[in-house]
């Protein structure tokens, strides 16, 4: 089985520069490969099996960053193609935007190139980075990969994926709980109990509007605009953290209390786009809740049943 842990890291200034460069190179390789594949197919009607290594001769600065990060950009593009061919409703792969709030790259553990010791993590190209580990990692866990990310507020994180051997005895589902999706309450149980979701985004909406209005009045490129941009990002980050904390605790509570959970298999993306329900759907985070519930149930040999 695989399990990921997310820890905050504290890179030095020169490491921050290299991380930013890696984000850019990963985005460039993804977009370049997508553009070349699209053009090749339009001209020949055939697929193109291009790789990041092909571009290093023309763009030598790609050699300055972790090659495994570039290889994972290729894997992500291949996955996007597979998802599209499996379900056209997902849409054709999109180009990555430089202005995206989500900045990350993934590197793999090969021949011990990633190590955790004494409050630090050793990473390819970056070398040693300070890390704040809020939990111990069992000795039998084998490190597989690390995803480095940066939030809009300027914080850096390492999501570390481990593989471990764990025999799980399947639990006979005697106590089954049904959950019906509710836009306002997150869900209603088969026993008629509401999740009583606090709707954090709605609570913060007025303050977010005020901060966003201040941002729009700031001159582009100014220090004040950057400061205000961070204030807005911190507001959004607080809402996201409140939501995530609530959903983690709720999914754990349900997992411990029942043998199986039965839910309706909903297309949350389609639901958020329909009838202007976007804010309501994204506010309650039902999709994230289902993902949390799924892996927590599986860890205990229990089931999430979708109908």
Task: Measure the CA–CA gap between 66 and 104, rounded to whole angstroms.
Answer: 13
134-148 pLDDT, tens digit each:
899 998 999 999 999
Whether pLDDT at 275 is above 70:
no
Q: What is the mean pLDDT of the chain?
A: 92
189 bridge partner residues: 179
179 burial via Cβ count (<10 Å: 0-12, 13-18, 19+): buried
Read off the tokens for 77: 């593009």
pLDDT of residue 271: 62
Task: Measure the CA–CA gap between 12 and 33, rounded to whole angstroms.
Answer: 31
Task: Measure the CA–CA gap between 211 and 299, rounded to whole angstroms.
Answer: 42
Whether pLDDT at 70 is above 60:
yes
Local structure of residue 260 (DSSP, 8 states): E
Instruction: For residue 100, name the pLDDT band (cuts at 50, 70, 90).
Output: confident
DSSP line for 127-196: EEEEEE--SPPPTT-EEEEEEEEE-TTS-EEEEEEEE-----PPPP--SEEEEEEETTTEEEETTS-B--
Query: Which residues are CB-neighbours of 207 under 8 A, at least 6 positions away?
Result: 235
**CA-to-CA separations, 129 to 6, 7, 19, 126, in angstroms, rounded:** 15, 12, 11, 7
pLDDT of residue 86: 86
203-248 pLDDT, tens digit each:
899 999 999 999 999 998 899 999 999 999 999 999 999 999 999 9
The fraction of the chain above a pLDDT of 90, given in percent, is: 77
286-302 pLDDT, tens digit each:
989 999 999 999 999 99
Whether pLDDT at 281 is above 70:
no
CB 31 within 8 A of CB 184: no
Read off the tokens for 297: 């149930």
Average the pLDDT over 148-170 and give the result: 94
Average the pLDDT over 276-283 and give the result: 56
pLDDT of residue 218: 92
Among 31-40, 87-96, 246-255, 279-288, the least confident range: 279-288
Task: Measure the CA–CA gap between 237 and 228, rounded to whole angstroms.
Answer: 14
197 burial via Cβ count (<10 Å: 0-12, 13-18, 19+): buried
Whether pLDDT at 80 is above 80:
yes
Average the pLDDT over 7-21 and give the result: 98
Q: Tokens 């709720």: give the residue.
A: 250
Instruction: For residue 168, name the pLDDT band (cuts at 50, 70, 90).
Output: confident
Helix, coil or strand: residue 285: coil
pLDDT of residue 272: 60
Whether pLDDT at 277 is above 70:
no
Among 46-60, 149-163, 259-273, the least confident range: 259-273
Identify the residue with better confidence: 241 or 91. Answer: 241
CA 231 centroid distance within chain: 22
30-62 pLDDT, tens digit each:
999 999 999 999 999 998 999 999 999 999 999
The model carries a pTM of 0.85
Task: Measure the CA–CA gap between 150 and 209, rounded to whole angstroms.
Answer: 24
Convert 197-225 into a string of H (helix), E (strand) and C (coil): CCCHHHHHHHHHHHHHHHHHHCCCCCHHH
In the chain, where the domains are located: 1-166, 176-306
Instruction: For residue 280, name the pLDDT band (cuts at 50, 70, 90).
Output: low
CB 166 within 8 A of CB 3: no
The fraction of the chain above a pLDDT of 70, given in percent, is: 94
**CA-to-CA separations, 161 to 144, 158, 277, in angstroms, rounded:** 6, 10, 34
Task: Measure the CA–CA gap between 208 and 227, rounded to whole angstroms.
Answer: 15
Task: Measure the CA–CA gap between 111 and 82, rounded to whole angstroms.
Answer: 30
């Amino acid at each position: 089985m695989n399990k990921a842990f997310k820890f905050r890291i504290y890179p030095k200034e020169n490491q921050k520069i290299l991380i930013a460069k890696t984000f850019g190179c990963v985005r460039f390789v993804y977009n370049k490969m997508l553009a070349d594949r699209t053009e090749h197919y339009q001209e020949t009607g055939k697929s193109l099996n291009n790789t990041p290594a092909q571009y290093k001769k023309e763009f030598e600065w790609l050699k300055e960053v972790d090659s495994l990060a570039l290889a994972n950009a290729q894997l992500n593009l291949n996955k996007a193609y597979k998802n599209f061919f499996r379900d056209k409703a997902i849409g054709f792969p999109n180009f990555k935007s430089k202005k995206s709030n989500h900045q990350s790259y993934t590197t793999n553990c090969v021949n011990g190139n990633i190590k955790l010791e004494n409050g630090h993590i050793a990473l390819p190209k970056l070398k040693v980075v300070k890390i704040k580990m809020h939990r111990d990692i069992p000795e039998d866990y084998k490190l597989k990969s690390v995803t480095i990310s940066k939030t809009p507020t300027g914080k850096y994180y390492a999501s570390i994926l481990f593989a471990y051997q764990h025999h799980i005895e399947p639990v006979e589902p005697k106590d089954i709980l049904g959950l019906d999706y509710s836009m306002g309450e997150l869900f209603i149980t088969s026993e008629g109990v509401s999740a009583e979701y606090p709707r954090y985004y709605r609570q913060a909406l007025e303050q977010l509007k005020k901060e966003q209005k201040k941002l729009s009045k700031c001159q582009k490129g100014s220090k004040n605009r950057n400061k205000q941009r961070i204030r807005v990002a911190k507001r959004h980050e607080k809402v996201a953290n409140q939501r995530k904390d609530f959903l983690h605790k709720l999914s754990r509570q349900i997992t411990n209390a029942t043998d199986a959970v039965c839910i309706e298999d909903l297309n949350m993306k389609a639901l958020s786009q329909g009838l202007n329900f976007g804010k309501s759907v994204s506010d309650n985070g039902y999709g994230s809740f289902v993902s949390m519930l799924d892996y927590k149930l599986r860890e205990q040999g229990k089931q999430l049943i979708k109908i």
